[in-house]
Amino acid sequence: MPRSVQHWPGGIPTSIQPHSEADLSLDQIKQEVKGWLLFVQENWVSAANAGAPSDGDHELTHRRQLVETWASATQEFRDAYQSRAPLGLPGTEGPRFNEPSEGLRYPAEALERLYDTLQPIDLGSLISIAPVDEAHAANRARWVKFVILLYNYDIETGHCLLGNHMPSEAIFNPATTTDFSVENFLPWHDLETANFRGPYMLADEHGLKTGRLTLVEYEMNGTVKESLHIRPFNMQMPYLRAFEDGAGFDDISHAQGAYRYQNSPLDMDLPIIDILCQAKEANQLPTSMAICDREQWTSDVELYAPGYLALEAQGRGGEYPLTSLTAPIGGVKKEVLNRVHDPRFTFIAPGTFP
């Protein structure tokens, strides 16, 4: 069953604030959180012991209660836990794959049914933080184009985000914020659900207008650490560096497709093929894309989003159902190689040598 959006009733309490320090070492973080981890361990009440149904609501509500209690408590109350909490609380230490470092893991009982109450988004996909429902028609039309432009428009078929071709849409809590910004994404993702775990690819409203997603990394207190603005069809190499290789932002910013001159603003109100052609005319495309043309890109869009161009021609591109997007086999050579020769590019077939 799909997960539903989780909003903290009444909005995130104002007593819950980010840590004043953004740049702490791992040892400093362990020292800062040890009292909180002990508080969670000693005050966690399972659904069975509370006589509550095992439907996930108890765990979500209980996590929120603990967060609010700790945040609104007196310093004397918190110090009482901090002073007797050991570093590496039993049950929180020992490295495990894809989990926080030793001494930072929550007690296992506090992680029960956590996945069931996470926000319904895929962190490996593009996430819209702008409203893109039917009530926001202009945003919706740009969003559909944006998502389609994440496919490969060079000499091979595929998707820039590999298998993550279906995007996600964040629905912010109006009781918490009406500012659909990059800065407010992490509170929605982690604080609304009191997420006791853990670069994101986000598209805000300005990004939808200018055709650039924001690849962002946050500090441990939720403030933005670093960010890059990248056109969707340029994301293949930056995505591999960030999500497959785990590279830092300096390496990502020097990946093919991430350079600033390749990512100036686009006019996302143009027809989708015109967006690509305009970027080609401005000499802003990587070589493997620049040898392609309107005819090839028209075939590409029909392959990736069957029926979209017909709807767009009627002024109804925003009505295109994203569930109709395809997952084509990657790496298939395109027809353009048989009809276009570009002196900047030499195609070498597999198994041959120049």
Characterise 166 by phi-psi region: left (phi > 0), alpha (psi -120 to 50), beta (else). beta
The rounded distance, in Å, linking the Cα atoms of 211 and 188 is: 24
What token pair was written down for 120? Answer: 């319904």
Closest CA to 337 of 303, 298, 304, 289: 289
Q: Which pLDDT tens digit goes with each residue over 69-123?
A: 999 999 999 999 999 988 777 666 555 544 445 556 677 777 777 777 777 677 7
The rounded distance, in Å, linking the Cα atoms of 76 and 73 is: 8
Q: Determine which of 128-132, 177-181, 275-279, 294-298 has the lowest per-residue pLDDT on average.
A: 177-181
**How wide is the angle at C-alpha 129 spanned by C-alphas 304 and 278, nearest 5°?**
50
The rounded distance, in Å, linking the Cα atoms of 282 and 262 is: 10
pLDDT for residue 191 is more than 70: yes
The rounded distance, in Å, linking the Cα atoms of 156 and 129 is: 30
- Domain locations along the chain: 26-117, 127-334
Closest CA to 6 of 193, 252, 228: 193
Cα 56 to chain centroid distance, Å, stands at: 24
- At residue 3, φ and ψ (nearest 5 deg) are -75, 145
> Parallel, antiparallel, or unpaired: how do β-strands 168-169 and 200-203 relate?
unpaired
pTM of the model: 0.78
What token pair was written down for 230? Answer: 């990248």
Q: Determine which of 108-122, 280-294, 306-320, 331-345 has the lowest per-residue pLDDT on average.
A: 331-345
Confidence at residue 339, expressed as pLDDT on a 0 to 100 scale: 56
Q: Which pLDDT tens digit goes with each residue over 143-156?
A: 999 999 999 999 89
Closest CA to 193 of 118, 245, 120, 142: 118
Q: Which pLDDT tens digit goes with each residue over 220-245?
A: 777 788 899 999 999 999 999 988 88
pLDDT for residue 1 is more than 80: no
The rounded distance, in Å, linking the Cα atoms of 198 and 302 is: 39
- At residue 247, φ and ψ (nearest 5 deg) are -70, 155
Mean pLDDT value across residues 125-150: 94
Average pLDDT, the chain: 84
The rounded distance, in Å, linking the Cα atoms of 165 and 244 is: 16
Percent of the chain clearing pLDDT 70 (strictly above): 87
